[in-house]
Every structure is written in structure tokens, then in C-alpha cells.
Structure 1
Amino acid sequence: MKIILALYCALVWTIFTKINKAYSLNILGVFPYEGKSHFFVFETYLKELARKGHNVTVISYFPQNEPIKNYHDISLAGKLKILEEVFPIKRSYWTIIQIPIFVVNSGTQNCKTLLEDKNVQNLWKAKSKFDVVVTEQFNSDCSLGLAYALNAPVVGLTSHALVPWHFSRFGVPFNPSYVSFMLLNGGTKPTLYQRLERTIVDTYLRIIYKYFSQRVDQSTLAQYFNNIPPLEVLGRNIKFLLLYTHFVHFGSNLLPQNVIEVGGYHLKNSKQLPEDLRKFIEGSPHGVIYISFGSMLKAASMPRDKIDSILSALAELPQRIIWKWDEKTLPRNPKNIYLSNWLPQNDILAHPNVVAFYSHCGLLGTTEALYHGVPVLAMPIFGDQPANAAAVEESGLGVQIELKDITKESLLKKFKTILTPEFRAKVKSLSQAWLDRPTSAMETAVHWTEFAARYPNFTFRSAAADVPLYQYLCLDILCVLLGIPAVIMLIILTCHLNCNRKFKQSTGNKKTSKNE
């Protein structure tokens, strides 16, 4: 009997293994951007693919510290400096001009660093076979050329909302009258001035990306491969874009079927806080306000008068404060503020005694606040933060304030708004709605990745992505509708003028005859 049972178990295990192997994919992840906050999102997704039995090879600047089953690193670590705390907290039109230049310059450097790497070169020299390539869609399309050389379908990933050069690529309508623009204020209800701003900045960004990113990357790829199609064409052939947003936060948008919202898949269960931090939070009878301006911004670079205004406002509140601060001390050395240059943000926001989050409105932190139902005071600085902050206010997750508008009084007013029981109850309800999905964000992301690998010859992009601009804007229809009446009017006017001229000639001839 034992022998029969053992044989039965062996048979079941063999069948299970074969089935598992049949569904196991060979996946290449290409993440050539050295931004830690971006990769932090993708890492959770990549580990989940590996956990499900897929063979995952990851090119990035962030290799795993300890080996993970089915997860293999091609490390670029040390080739470029990791981007952390590199931007001052300052906002102006000059920064809006500079940031896109920085983004495309870093993208072209990322492309060169990626293709120069010997281990990356071994992929195409060894003719490695991959079922699908998953890659970030941000500052470069270089990875699309690599995927083409490897003859693999592509799934794009973002850690933010759509950037301007993605709208036409995926056939997503961009109308500055109601579509939020990531670098600028106004959300879905912009003023006339803000609509003009969007139109000008959108044109600027598209031109910068086309001529200073795509053309340079195309030239870099040509040094390694023959006959790589135009990168914009490869961009339009991306099978799916896994977009790190959700309509409960950002509102409704007209997204085609190959753009899938998966906002929130990076979130993990909270862990136990360090003992000193836990005691600080739980020892506050009125709760705790958490302040962080992310890993890219230097909080201490704020103008001194703004820091003084913030400290004066916080001194008026009964809550304790936890502040991610990049220096050892704050002016005045306030005793109710816990300072650290690194904090376990998700674990802090998960604590029920944390009652508000004062943030630059990066999408990761905003998503974590939404997940845990913590009201947000948003102070956007650059990048996608203005659009995120507008969505925070429009959705009811929080309120926003501009850096230039910060005074003790204005800040107190904003804090008192989000700290009311009514506001906090509304945020908890919003959090429940955000969590209420037919499948989780991670399950959705994994499903469409596997789908793209199973059906590599199918493309589901919107027809709008292939329509010429004059047709997309209906200029030809406009020409016909305006042209026909114009021609008719021209014919009528010409006939009228001819008749009038003949009448005058006839009248003139009659007068001449009478005079004779």
C-alpha cells in the first residue's frame, strides 16, 4: 500500500512539474534608469513573476542582496551614480525647462551604459530567447531596440501617470481642456492660462524627446545592431502598458484596451516598526503627522523663511511630528519632532495613530497614503507631482498647497482641514473604494504580462495611434464642411459680380445711346 501511495505521489508531482514548466516563461526585465524610487515599484512585480515560477532575468542598477529563486541579475551597479536627493526644493518655469533636458540626457546615457555592458551584449550574441521583455517607459526607448534584436514582445511599465510622448503612441486622447498634465497645475479643471501653459509645455516636451532622446538612442543602437526600426514605431508596437494609476485616485480617462491601470501593486503588508519609532507614535494622544518630500528632493534646501513657517505652524498643532530630514537637526530643535534621513514610510503610514501625511506628492507615497486611508497635504515641486497633487484634491484624498504660498496661517488652515474627523472618514471610505477591485493590482499586472507572452502576434493598440494627425484632428472633415459652403459662396459671389458688371455695362450702353 505504501509503495502504491509513493508511486501515486511521484506521478502527481511529475504531472504538476510538467504543467508548471509548461506555463513557465523566460522573461527579461530591462530597467536602465538609475532612479531608486522607480525601481522600487517594479521590483515587487518582478519578484512576484519569479515566485510564480517564471525565469526572470533583470538588468538594473539594483541587484538583489541575497539570491532569489528564478530571479537572475545582470547588474549595472557602479556604472552611474544612483539618483537620491539630487534636486533642491524649488519650483519655477526654469525648472520646468531644465527637468526634461535632464530626463532625456540621462536617458541617452542610460542607453549607452546599457548596450556597453558585456553581460547585456552576451544576450544577443548568444541569441538568448525570451518570451517577453518587460521594461520601463520613461526617459528612453533604447530597451525597445534591444527587445527587437531579441525578437521578443514588449510589455511597458510605468511608476507614474502617462508622460506627454505616450499619449499619441498609445492612442490616448490628450485635450488640455480636461486631461491632467503631469508637470503643471490645474488637474482636470484648468483655467485658460493653464490650458495655454499645457499646450506650450506639451509641444516643448515632445520636441525635446523626439530630437534629443529618440534620435540619439537610434544612433547608439545603430552601433550595435543593423536595421532597428524607428523607435517611435517600436513604441507603438508595445503589447501592453501597465500604467501605475487607478481611476479612484486619478478619475476617469479614455484609455485603450492595451493600457492597463495597475496602481498599487508595489504595496506590501506593513512590518513592525523600530521600537523607538513605535513608542514615539503610540505615545502621542492626538496622533502623529508624517512629513516626507521623497528620496529625490533635498528637504533642507527649502528657503529658510518657508522652513520657519512650517515649524511655526507645526508648533501650533497638538500632534507629534515624524519628519524625513536630510540633516541632523532642525532650526529651533523642536522636541515634538522625530528626525531621520531614512524612515520605513509604508510601515509608518500603516499605523492607526498616523493622522496626516505632508508630502511632495510622489506617486509611491501618495499610493501608500491612499492604501492606508491617511489624508494628504500635498506640496508638489516637479515632475508628475503637480498632476498627482491635483488628483489628490479632486478625489478627496487631501488638499494641496504651493511652496510659494506657504505661511504659518495658510499651512495651519490646510492641516486643520484634513485633520477633521469628517475629512478623515471620507478618506477611509475612498481607501476602501480604491481597494475594492475584482482582481488585485499585482494579479492584473502578472496576467497581462503572461497574456502578451502567450499571444505575441496579437496587437491591441488603439486605431487612434495609427491615424495621421490631420485625420485625428478631423482637419480634412473640417476642410470639406467649410470648403463646400465657401465654394458655393464664391460661386454665388462670382455670379453676382458678373451679373452686376453686365448690368452696369448694359446701363452704360443705354446711356451712351441716348446721348447720341
Structure 2
Amino acid sequence: MLVSVILTLILISIFNTSNEVHSLNILGVFPYQGKSHFYVFEPYLKELARRGHNLTVISYFPQKEPLKNYHDISLAGKSIIFEGIVPFQKQSLLTNMLTSLGVSYVAIDNCNIMMDDEEVQDLWKRKMKFDVAVVEQFNGDCALGLAHILNTPVVGLTSHLLMPYHYDRYGISYNPSYIPFLLLDGSTKSTLMQRLSHTISHIYMKLIYQYLTQRYEYKIISKYVDNIPSLEELGRNIKFLLLYNNMMLTGSNILPANVIEVGGYHVSKPQPLRDDLLKFIEESEHGVIYVSFGSMLRTATMPKDKMQAILDALAELPQRVVWKWEAKSLPGKPKNIFISKWLPQNDLLAHPNVVAFYSHCGMLGTTEALYHGVPLVGMPMFADQFRNAAAMEESGFGVTVKLENLTKDNLLEKFKMVLDPKFRENVKLLSKAWHDRPKSAMDTAIHWTEFAAKYPTLTFRSPAADVPLYQYLCLDIIFILSTIPITIIYIVVVLYKTYFKSKSKQKSNEKKDKNM
């Protein structure tokens, strides 16, 4: 009897729990063709589908095999995929400004392509209903216009830290005295010249975004629908931003309640390595160094003297090396190096014999290294890699070497630092802290996505996003506080002058009286 009662209660509990889980219709909008960006978002989208939600995903990266609850609106073939297009060269303030212009024009082109797509247009023509839209926050806001047309609340996603033009819409203060600029070299303790460059670049990118990107995207969207709010206003109405970061990488941040750190959700459970790679790694007596510069950099464009410096340094280390090398052969390759055009990076970094990672400090690789506790030697080349590298070094996860300063001896010194047992032990401790969260990164991301759909009428943005600039900077208060003492001083001076003038006049009159 007792057993049947318990079973009945369990069944009732399961039934009630299942009733609380609602299948959502979710629109995913990813109009940027950067493969490394979509690598971050894809596991999250698949997990939403796995949990029973129905997804419609606009992107350049459709699923190769049909996935339950996952419907692609493919933009593939309508623009080149960004992979292996960046040369190895020193970045500067000027190249950063030119890159910013290029990124803006890419956003405008992406908006044209997406809004002109028949399947995309069919969404509003058929008046499709979605509970929430998950959209990338990177180089444009065209996705916000689409979500507005469909009357859908928005959750923003990033595969990186905040872009300069996103601070204001979330009510976050950008202060170059301690906040580095995402796309340039420098840390929280930047030099005066770095802070000056950060300030100029921050203002420049905001102006480009406001007067070029958003203006032209708005014109494109207006061809299909009338009377939409400004894209910046739509940006301020985003319910939540799922920021691909964790405080163990960048330290403490002043973030509002609707900006939630979810760094690490793309890292999956490691799979077994292929036989030849596994054999090479496990037979290494002193461990293995993994070398990869990601999907965007063209390794073949590295200057010959720098390539030789890397080869000479690696040849002197007792560790074996696994290198993601895109060409058929590596000229001058030492015997201790294993090369391959493609490598299962996450699975490889998870192997206990991998003792260091020589990387460009892209967010995916940096995240995977922190996840698995592998120290980094970072050589940032462009975009957010500089900010990631600076944060990684400040946090104690690794060290950096600049391309322009790269020599055999310099690189050897950096490797010896991260291979030191005490350094590696500290990295393992930091990795343990990285994992120590109330909820996993994936569960956190899913929770707030479902939360936004569940409460679409509620607003969670910071009040700082709505106040006028003079009030945000407290100029009115400063004016009042400075006016009061100035007024008092003025009154005192006037009274003082009046008193002495009166006294002087009185003495003058007295003198006249005596003379008479």
C-alpha cells in the first residue's frame, strides 16, 4: 500500500513537472558569415532544440544533417564565408580604423542579403509567431528590425566581449582608465598612449556604427516595412544579453542585471582522438604542446623569419608538438611536430598530456584552454584577440608574445614560464574556479532565453540606458554644486564691497564736516 502511494506521488510529480515545460517557437538570426562566431552559437541552438523547443534559424551555416525541431533558412552561397582571410601582420590604430569600416560595410551587405531572402520575407508575410528571437550582437542591428516586424522579444548573443557601440544601449559605462579597448593592445593597466588610442577608437567606432551602419540598415529595412523605431531604440529594448565571458578571464565587471555572463557553453564533452594522433600524444614522455592560430588567420602568410623563430624554439623543447597547419607540408619541420589541416581542438586540449597551447587567443580556443586547464602562450593578431590575451595574462592563465617581438629566445622563455610546474598548478586552480558555478553556462543561457519568452512584457534594462547624457554625467548636479559656492562667494564679495564703499563714503562725509 505504501509503495503504491509513493509511486502515485512520483507520477503526479512527473506529470506536474512536464506540464511546466512549454515548447517555445524560437527565431535565431545570425546574418554574419564568420564561421568562428557560429561555432559558439551552434551548440546552444542545438541544445534548445534538444530540450523540445522549435527553432527557425537564419544563418550561413545550415545543418549538414536534418535535426529534430531545427529548421534552417539558409543564406549559404550568397556571400563568402570568412575563413583564412586575415594575414599575419602587425595591427595598429590605422588598420583598426580601416577594419572597422570594412566590418560596417559587411553588416550593410548582410542586411541586404537577409531582407531580400524570400524565406525570410515569408516569415512576416505569413505572420509567423515566435515566442523569442535570439540574435547575434556583433556588427549590425538588422536582426532587431526583423524581430520588430515579427513583434518578437529579443535575447542578444555574443561570441566575444562587448563591442564599443553596445555599452550605451545596456547602460554600461566605458572608462578607458581601467577598461581596455576590445580591438587594440592593452590591459586594465594600460599606458597613457594606449588609453588615448582606446578612447579615440571607441568614439570612432561608435560614430561609424551610428552614422553609417545603423543609418543604412534602417533604410534597407524601411523598404519592406514602414514606421519602425530607430535601431538604437530597438537595441535598448533587448531583454537580455548573453555575454560570452566569465569573470575568471576578465575579472570583475560593472554589468547590469540583464547582461549575463555565459562563457563556456560551446565546450562539449571530449570525444576519443583518432588513433595516429592519440598514439603521438600518449607516447610523448614530456607531454605535448598544441599550436593553432584559428580559422581566420592565414598561417602561410607569416613572415619567414618569424616562422623560423617558432620552428627553432619548438625544436629545442623536449615536448612533442601538434600543429594545425593548413598547407600540405611545413618547410623545415622538426621531427617532434605532428601537422594536420584540421584537428579536434576541444578533444585535444582535454587530453592530460597536452601541457601548453600556443594560440592567437581567439575566444573559442581561449575558453577551451581555460575549461581544460591548459596554460596559454598567446600571440594576438587582430580583433578581440588583443583583449582576450591581455585578460588571460592578467588572470594568470598564460603569457603573451607579440609578433613584432617574436624571436627564438623570446618564445623559448615564454614556453618555459607556462611549462613550469607551479605555473601549471595555478592554471589548474583557476580552471577549477572557472567550473565552480551555481549553474552550467549552457543551463544559464537556456534559462534566461526561456525567461525572456515567459515574461515578454517586462523590461530588465538598466535605468542608465535611458537617462540623457547630461544627467548620466551628472552635469546638472555639478552645475548646481559649483553654482552654490560661486553664488555665495559673489554675494560675500558684493556685500564686502558695499560695506567698504559705505564706510569710505561715511569717512569722506565726516572729513567734509570737519573742514566746514
Q: Which is worse superposed, 260-269 or 98-107?
A: 98-107
Shift in Å, 1:92: 1.9
Aligned to 2:32: 33
Shift in Å, 1:404: 1.3
Equivalent position SS for 2:356: strand
Aligned partner of 1:353: which letter?
A: N
Q: Which is worse superposed, 463-472 or 299-308?
A: 299-308
Shift in Å, 1:454: 0.7
Which blocks of at least 5 consecutive residues in structure 2 are unaligned? 1-6
Shift in Å, 1:310: 1.4
**1:500 and 1:187 mapped to 2: Cα distance?**
59
Query: What is the Cα-based RMSD across aligned positions, in Å?
Result: 2.5
Shift in Å, 1:316: 1.5
Equivalent position SS for 2:377: strand
Aligned to 2:187: 187
Deviations 1:7-48 (A, max 9, x none): x99xx89x9699569600000101000000001111100111
**1:119 and 1:18 mapped to 2: Cα distance?**
36
Q: Superposition pairs for residues 406-421 of structure 1, below 5 Å?
A: 406-421=406-421
Q: Does 1:200 align with 2:200?
A: yes
Name segments (4+ residues, structure 1) moved above 4 Å.
15-22, 494-516
Aligned CA distance change for structure 1 residues 324 and 506 (closer, same or farther; 3 Å): farther
Aligned to 2:162: 162
Shift in Å, 1:239: 0.5
**1:277 and 1:42 mapped to 2: Cα distance?**
28
Aligned to 1:76: 75
Q: Does 1:486 align with 2:481?
A: no
**1:326 and 1:24 mapped to 2: Cα distance?**
43
Aligned to 2:62: 63
Shift in Å, 1:181: 2.3
Contact 1:28 1:56 in 2 (8 A): yes
Deviations 1:87-118 (A, max 9, x none): 11222222211221121111111111100000
**1:407 and 1:337 mapped to 2: Cα distance?**
19
Equivalent position SS for 2:476: helix
Equivalent position SS for 2:134: strand
Equivalent position SS for 1:81: coil
Contact 2:104 2:209 in 1 (8 A): yes
Aligned to 1:448: 448
Deviations 1:405-458 (A, max 9, x none): 111111111110000111111111111111111111111111111110010000
Aligned to 1:23: 22
Equivalent position SS for 2:177: coil
Aligned CA distance change for structure 1 residues 405 and 511 (closer, same or farther; 3 Å): farther
Shift in Å, 1:497: 5.4
Contact 2:311 2:333 in 1 (8 A): no
Q: Which is worse superposed, 272-281 or 144-153?
A: 272-281
**1:343 and 1:19 mapped to 2: Cα distance?**
40
**1:504 and 1:260 mapped to 2: Cα distance?**
71
Equivalent position SS for 1:321: strand
Contact 2:93 2:197 in 1 (8 A): no
Contact 1:155 1:238 in 2 (8 A): yes
Aligned partner of 2:23: which letter?
A: S
| Matched residues, number | 507
Shift in Å, 1:509: 9.2
Q: Which is worse superposed, 366-375 or 318-327?
A: 318-327
Aligned CA distance change for structure 1 residues 304 and 504 (closer, same or farther; 3 Å): farther
Deviations 1:130-156 (A, max 9, x none): 000001000110110110110110000
Equivalent position SS for 1:367: helix
TM-score (norm 2): 0.93
Q: Which is worse superposed, 319-328 or 398-407?
A: 319-328
Aligned partner of 1:133: which letter?
A: A
Shift in Å, 1:176: 1.2
Aligned to 1:372: 372
Aligned partner of 2:66: which letter?
A: P
**2:17 and 2:481 mapped to 1: Cα distance?**
63
Deviations 1:64-105 (A, max 9, x none): 111111011111000001000111122222221122112111
Shift in Å, 1:469: 1.2
Aligned to 2:423: 423
**2:19 and 2:496 mapped to 1: Cα distance?**
83
Q: Which is worse superposed, 163-172 or 329-338?
A: 329-338
Equivalent position SS for 1:307: helix
Shift in Å, 1:160: 0.6
Q: Superposition pairs for residues 396-411 of structure 1, below 5 Å?
A: 396-411=396-411
Aligned to 2:245: 245
Contact 1:20 1:53 in 2 (8 A): no
Q: Which is worse superposed, 355-364 or 16-25?
A: 16-25
Equivalent position SS for 1:58: strand
Q: Superposition pairs for residues 353-392 of structure 1, below 5 Å?
A: 353-392=353-392
Q: Does 1:326 align with 2:326?
A: yes
Aligned partner of 1:424: which letter?
A: R
Aligned partner of 2:393: which letter?
A: E
Aligned to 2:271: 271
Aligned to 2:291: 291
Which blocks of at least 5 consecutive residues in structure 1 are unaligned? 1-7
Aligned partner of 1:94: which letter?
A: L
Contact 2:93 2:201 in 1 (8 A): no
**1:199 and 1:348 mapped to 2: Cα distance?**
39
Q: Which is worse superposed, 65-74 or 191-200?
A: 191-200
**1:95 and 1:295 mapped to 2: Cα distance?**
20
**1:133 and 1:484 mapped to 2: Cα distance?**
51
**2:329 and 2:291 mapped to 1: Cα distance?**
15
Aligned to 1:5: none
Aligned partner of 1:244: which letter?
A: Y
Contact 1:29 1:56 in 2 (8 A): yes
Deviations 1:316-349 (A, max 9, x none): 2111111222323333232222222221111111
Shift in Å, 1:179: 2.0
Contact 1:155 1:452 in 2 (8 A): yes
Aligned partner of 1:39: which letter?
A: F
Shift in Å, 1:472: 1.2
**2:190 and 2:512 mapped to 1: Cα distance?**
69
Q: Superposition pairs for residues 296-311 of structure 1, below 5 Å?
A: 296-311=296-311
